[in-house]
Amino acid sequence: MSAKVNKVVLAYSGGLDTSIIVPWLKQHYGNPEVICYCANIGQDDELSGLEEKAIATGASKCYVEDLREEFVRDFLFPLLQSGAVYERAYLLGTSVARPLIARRQAEIALQEGADALAHGCTGKGNDQVRFELTYMAFAPHLKVIAPWREWNIRSREDALDYAAEHNVPVTATLKSIYSRDRNIWHMSHEGGILEDPWNEPEEAMYTLTTAPEAAPDEPEYVVVGFEQGTPVSVNGKRLEPVELLLTLNDIGAKHGIGRVDLVENRLVGMKSHGVYETPGGTILRVAHQGLEQLTLDRDTLHYKDVIAHRYAELVYYGQWYTPLREALDAFVRVTQRNVTGEARLKLYKGNATLVGRRAAKSLYNPDIASFTMSDSYNQKDAEGFIKIFGLPVKVQALLEGRSGVEG
């Protein structure tokens, strides 16, 4: 038996792993009281009967909280505004959710007077870091128990055997070959045939989006409205954050929008192959970028792209509750002051194409940009600019003897 704990709060999903963790904690940590915590962040169909299942597994109680509004408003929309994308493709759906879940779990543990926190993350994955960095930020004195780093269970078969031995009610079977994570932003898929990155994902694997080949044969246009970088409307109708994202998820899924197949670098050092479905998030990203094209000056836009890369790493690495993230958010908020307007997208067969954008404080001046001559821009001014801008190049050429004059 490991060191005894009196009360532990477990991050609980009701899946196979977290279900068997409840009796395992009791068996190996001196029969503590186990309290389960689950956050509803958009995986609604997985929450039915969750509290009853936790109690039947041996938990004393189970918290199930609806955090969708906070998740969209305080995590997803700031992520969108930052422009963060991990390794060119991943919109960070799982990564950005963990800090919220872990924070509320830690707060419940403090409220309940628990002396330990537990999670079901594997020792190979990124989530263990995301959970535990958040624990450190909010309950650094509590013991952390990570069964996957301790027990001798090594496979799905082992886990099912343990569940049967301890009368744990589970619905998982060996036929469930994929490991999935769902929330209101995305669905991820790992394992199964994806463990060979040469394999094309089978269509039956996808759960949110229509295959582009089977999507409607006519394109659909959607207009997304923003106020200071925050999405506020779809096709002219103002919507609350959760309703807005759900609406775009439905529209995007119908047209096969947001599928990504990626071999990514995990924080722990290995590469992994995953497939993501992010229909509404993909639409929002394209629309938001379209408005920023109009409203951000060149230097700010280019530097924001630099910040976006670091922001994506920070989120992926679980460093949400850090001074750096707060500082980057402050920068991003300033950049969003004029990002108010609308972007129009054409959705067709898996593609979300920006086809229009307008903003009250647009920096785009048709009179200056037009190929038609006007008094707003004197083209002769370019001559002096080019001479000054190219002076370092000219000096280097002269130094290297490329003046065209024999020495």
Active-site residue identified among 68, 82, 95, 98: 98
95 is catalytic: no
Quote the radius of gyration of the chain (alpha carbons, Å). Answer: 26
**Helix or strand or coil: residue 312?**
helix
333 contacts 399 by C-beta, under 8 angstroms: no
Active-site residue identified among 19, 127, 181, 182: 127
Which tokens in the block code for residue 242?
A: 């959760």
66 is catalytic: no
290 contacts 342 by C-beta, under 8 angstroms: no
- The H or E element that residue 9 is part of is strand 7-11
- The contacts of residue 302 (CB under 8 Å, 6+ apart) are none
What residues form DSSP beta bridges with 273? 263
Active-site residue identified among 13, 17, 95, 182: 17
322 Ramachandran zone, left/alpha/beta (phi>0; psi -120 to 50): beta
127 is catalytic: yes
Distance of CA 272 to the CA centre of its chain: 16
287 contacts 343 by C-beta, under 8 angstroms: yes
73 is catalytic: no
What is the spatial distance between Cα 201 and Cα 191, in angstroms, rounded to a whole number? Answer: 11
188 contacts 276 by C-beta, under 8 angstroms: yes
Active-site residue identified among 179, 233, 329, 358: 179
What is the spatial distance between Cα 407 and Cα 400, in angstroms, rounded to a whole number? Answer: 11
Residues acting as catalytic residues: 17, 98, 127, 179
